[in-house]
Amino acid sequence: MWDIERTEGFEEYYDELFAYRNEIEEEETKKWNARLLQRSIELGVEGNIKLVEYIEYLKRRIEMLEEMIVSLK
């Protein structure tokens, strides 16, 4: 992410831009955590966020490997 508040020319708006960026990042984190919680419920492991993250990581790896196999054909 680009930190506009640190960009030359925006110095006088630093506090407002920094607060806004933090607000947006907090909202995104809340949405992400809610999604992971919902996914954990769907998988029958309610609240086990670490397991959901690992399952999603493995899913992405499998998809990448499948794409590589297809590209080799």
Residue type, 15: D
What's the number of domains the chain is made of? 1
Residue 5 CB contacts under 8 Å (≥ 6 apart), including other chains: 13, 14, 17, 18, 21
Supply the Cα-derived Rg of the chain in whole angstroms: 19
Residue-by-residue pLDDT tens, the chain, 73 positions? 678 888 889 999 999 999 999 999 999 999 999 999 999 999 999 999 999 999 999 999 999 999 999 999 8
pLDDT at 42 (0 to 100): 97
Containing structural domain, residue 56:
4-72
Single-letter amino acid, residue 63: E
Distance separating alpha carbons of residues 3 and 25, to the nearest angstrom: 12
